[in-house]
Amino acid sequence: MKKCLISMALCLSFASAPAWAKTTVTLAFVNNPDMVLLKELSPVFMAENPDINLQFQVLPENILLNSITQDAAVGGGRYDIVNAGTYEVQGSWAANKWLSPLNPLFAAMPAKAQQDYDLNDIIKTVRDALTVDGQLYALPVYGESSFTMYRQDLFAKAHLTMPERPTWDQIRTFACKLNDPSHGVYGISMKGVSDYSQLAPFITLMHSFGAKWFNMNWEPQITSPAFERAFNFYIDLLKDCGEPGASSVGFNEGLTLVSQGKVAIWVDATAGANVLQDPTVSKVVDKIGYALAPTEGSINGSAWLWASGLGIVAGSKHQSEAFRFITWATSKEYIQLVAKRFGAVRTPPGTRYSTYQNPAYLKAAPFAALTLKAIEGADMMHPAKNPVPYTGTAHVNIPEYASWASDFAQNFSAVVAGTLTADQALKRSQATTEQVMKDAGYIKN
C-alpha gyration radius of the chain: 22
Q: Measured between alpha carbons, how far is 201 from 302 in angstroms, rounded to an integer?
A: 9
Contact 155, 290 (CB under 8 A): no
Q: In which residue ranges of the chain is CATH 3.40.190.10 found?
A: 12-144+305-360, 146-304+381-439
CATH 3.10.20.30 for the 146-304+381-439 domain, yes or no? no
Specify the pLDDT at position 430. Answer: 98
> How does pLDDT run across 305-336, given as a tens digit for each residue?
999 999 999 989 999 999 999 999 999 999 99
> How does pLDDT run across 9-58, given as a tens digit for each residue?
444 333 455 555 799 999 998 887 788 899 999 999 999 999 999 999 88
Q: Is 237 helix (H, G, I), strand (E, B) or coil?
A: helix
Q: Measured between alpha carbons, how far is 81 from 59 in angstroms, rounded to an integer?
A: 14
Q: Is the pLDDT of residue 2 over 50?
A: no
Specify the pLDDT at position 382. Answer: 93
Q: What's the whole-number average pLDDT of the chain?
A: 92
What mean pLDDT do residues 121-135 have?
Answer: 96
Specify the pLDDT at position 63. Answer: 80
Contacting residues for 373 by C-beta, under 8 A, at least 6 apart:
292
Q: Measured between alpha carbons, how far is 25 from 11 in angstroms, rounded to an integer?
A: 18
Terminal C-alpha separation, the chain: 68
DSSP code, position 316: -
Specify the pLDDT at position 315. Answer: 87
Report residue 1's pLDDT band, with 50, 70 and 90 as the boundaries: very low
Fold of domain 12-144+305-360: D-Maltodextrin-Binding Protein; domain 2 (3.40.190)
What mean pLDDT do residues 437-445 have?
Answer: 92
Pick from 193, 206, 204: nearest CA to 426: 206
Pick from 159, 140, 65, 75: nearest CA to 102: 140
> How does pLDDT run across 264-319, given as a tens digit for each residue?
999 999 989 988 998 999 999 999 999 999 999 899 999 999 999 999 999 899 99
- What pTM was computed for the model? 0.87
Q: Is the pLDDT of residue 242 over 80?
A: yes
| Helix H or strand E segment including 206 | helix 200-208
Q: Which residues pair with 183 in a beta bridge?
A: none
> How does pLDDT run across 97-119, given as a tens digit for each residue?
999 999 999 999 999 999 999 99
Specify the pLDDT at position 5. Answer: 41
* Low-confidence winner among 56-65, 235-244, 342-351 (lowest mean pLDDT): 56-65
Contacting residues for 398 by C-beta, under 8 A, at least 6 apart:
91, 92, 390
Contacting residues for 280 by C-beta, under 8 A, at least 6 apart:
none
